Amino acid sequence: MQKRWNILPADELKATALHEALKINKTLCKILVQRGLDDFEKSKHFFRPQLTDLHSPWLMKDMQKAVDRILLAKSEKEKILVYGDYDVDGTTSVASMFQFLQKMYPAVDYYIPHRYREGYGISKTGIDFAKENNFGLIISLDCGIKSVELIAYAKTLGIDFIVCDHHLPDHELPEAVAILNPKQKDCTYPFKELCGCGVGFKLMQALSEELNLDETRYLNYLDLVATAIAADIVPITGENRTLAFYGLKKVNENPCPGIKALMQLASIQKEMFLNNLVFIIAPRVNAAGRMDDAKKAVQLFIEQDAKKAMEFAEMLHSDNTDRKEADSNITEEALAIIEANENLINRKTTVVYKEHWHKGVVGIVASRLIETYYRPTIVLTRSGDFVGGSARSVAGFNLYEAVHACREHLIGYGGHFAAAGMTLAIDSVEAFSMAFENVVAATITPDLLIPEIIIDAEISFSELTPAFYNILTQMEPFGPENMRPVFIAKKVMDTGFSKIVKEQHIRFSVRQNKISFTGIGFNMADKFHLLQMQKPLDIVFTLDMNEWNGEKNLQLKMIDLRLSE
């Protein structure tokens, strides 16, 4: 697939000034400036994050109300229910808050809604469960900000809510005793991009301060907070960077038995990075809710006995194996449907439907299809008497607006810029598919249908030294708004030793002037002919360390290449 290369500009004057202040590689200074780290102080906080950098939890609107209501429940011996969503952010939020509260007050339980029976967020079933079991206070985590009617219903039953959420609030807010959400218009909390578990963490921090508890009481859950930050794709800047940095430290030094068990099952022996939490821990946790019941993810995170934690981890591991099999089979079927129909190949969208597909993986399948056909994609399946589905977008295209424009064909829908979900009648599938195609075709610009590679800076091979790599690794943890830097090197020649490995990958050997590097390009065998032309090439890559037989060498992780102009 052809890709667009976008080399980011950098302010040369600011980069020079930063280079003089930091005395590190000029190219790295350009990247720091691009990321808003344009002076010594900002860079110092970036490279040396401190827990003392965390903001006071009392800056968050309603924090005192939330703390007071929890302490009232404690003094009145009222039962508290910790309620969270079925994804990684929700289950880690519940596991940390439940354990924290239970250590100071035993009348606490937790509740995770069933993905298919109750759906996303607060459910009537969950509120009824609270009533039947005499809970007077519900603390919702990673959900609740849009549950106006359900929280009003809970109030009629004598149940109060504290809402801890990070999703964008609507104009009307629920009638909760306290709403902790930095995205509220009148909340002055300095950092707006916390995940749900991060908001819960701030409540634990405030309770600890109010009760003069040791800070280890809430810092103990940083491994769960880092897992939520990784999985929820929030910006790795500001407070999230500090929480992720120290959370990863805990994951590597002293993780909870549940995370340790998942790492053992995945045969992790090296240092864990945020990337590993995204691709190893998060899918196994999410698989519990996708394939069965997410409650066992909380059971895994709160289990202190290593043997029992391993039993729960094995359940999640098994769910993930089932999820991978379903995802692979459905992707194969969906690609076959598209390839068999020329009309579908030439569209600006992909909409595919089979009633037997597993609804827990249709969102993942939509993302997989975009890897082959880069365009807004919806995967639909039968859900009871209706059709349900998940949509995924391409970078820069507002998917939610496109789905919203087709609402006459839908029973219900929701989502955001990059992803959405919908429910429709079985006989509306064809009409919705055509409407979606027409809306997207009329509004998407041609460039958005070509994947873009964002390149941070041009670099020469002479700059790629162990000292350079050492500073690069100190930019970890990498994630949204602090991605691993992507470099371009121009007029590079193949040494003649590059080769195709396992039929689909390239083991590169390239040189620039008199300096040679090896590299790996996964699934790039179709570009091998460019190397054989023995002409100058421009290559796009990230820098990596390869360990083999006890030796460490820098290597290039190839992303793309083309002939030099």
Per-residue pLDDT in tens (0 to 9) along the chain, 565 residues: 789 999 999 999 999 999 999 999 999 999 999 999 999 999 999 999 999 999 999 999 999 999 999 999 999 999 999 999 989 999 999 999 999 999 999 999 999 998 888 877 899 999 999 999 999 999 999 999 989 999 999 999 999 999 999 988 989 999 999 999 999 999 999 999 999 999 999 999 999 999 999 999 999 999 999 999 999 889 999 999 999 999 999 999 999 999 999 999 988 878 899 988 998 999 999 998 888 889 999 999 999 999 999 999 999 999 999 999 999 999 999 999 999 988 888 899 999 999 999 988 999 999 999 999 999 999 999 988 999 999 999 999 999 999 999 999 999 888 888 899 999 999 999 999 999 999 999 999 999 999 999 999 999 999 999 999 999 999 999 999 999 999 999 999 999 999 999 989 999 999 999 999 999 999 999 999 999 999 999 999 999 998 888 888 999 999 999 999 8
Residue 505 lies in domain: 4-48+453-563
Task: Report helix, strand or coil for 295.
Answer: helix
Measure the CA–CA gap between 273 and 483, rounded to whole angstroms. Answer: 13
If asked whether residues 233 and 100 sit together in one domain, one would say yes
If asked whether residues 296 and 439 sit together in one domain, one would say no
- Domain boundary residue, one of 301, 318, 335: 301
Q: What is the pLDDT of residue 333?
A: 96
**Is residue 311 situated within a structural domain?**
no
Count the helices and strands in the chain (H runs, E runs).
22, 19
Residues 204, 209, 213, 218, CA torsion sign: positive
If asked whether residues 339 and 464 sit together in one domain, one would say no
If asked whether residues 29 and 176 sit together in one domain, one would say no
Q: Tell whether omega for the bond before 477 is within 30 degrees of 0, i.e. cis.
A: yes
What's the distance, CA 43 to chain centroid? 25
Radius of gyration of the chain (CA): 25
Q: What is the pLDDT of residue 270?
A: 85
**Is residue 308 situated within a structural domain?**
no
* Residue 219 near residue 241 (C-beta atoms within 8 A): no
**Is residue 312 situated within a structural domain?**
no
Say which CATH number the domain at 271 has: 3.90.1640.30
Measure the CA–CA gap between 379 and 433, rounded to whole angstroms. Answer: 10
Q: What is the pLDDT of residue 77?
A: 96
CB-CB neighbours of 545 under 10 Å: 12
Measure the CA–CA gap between 221 and 247, rounded to whole angstroms. Answer: 8
List the structure tokens of 46. Answer: 């970036």
If asked whether residues 351 and 282 sit together in one domain, one would say no
If asked whether residues 169 and 29 sit together in one domain, one would say no
**Is residue 309 situated within a structural domain?**
no
If asked whether residues 130 and 35 sit together in one domain, one would say no
- Domain boundary residue, one of 419, 449, 479: 449
- Domain boundary residue, one of 418, 449, 480: 449
Number of domains in the chain: 3
If asked whether residues 270 and 356 sit together in one domain, one would say no
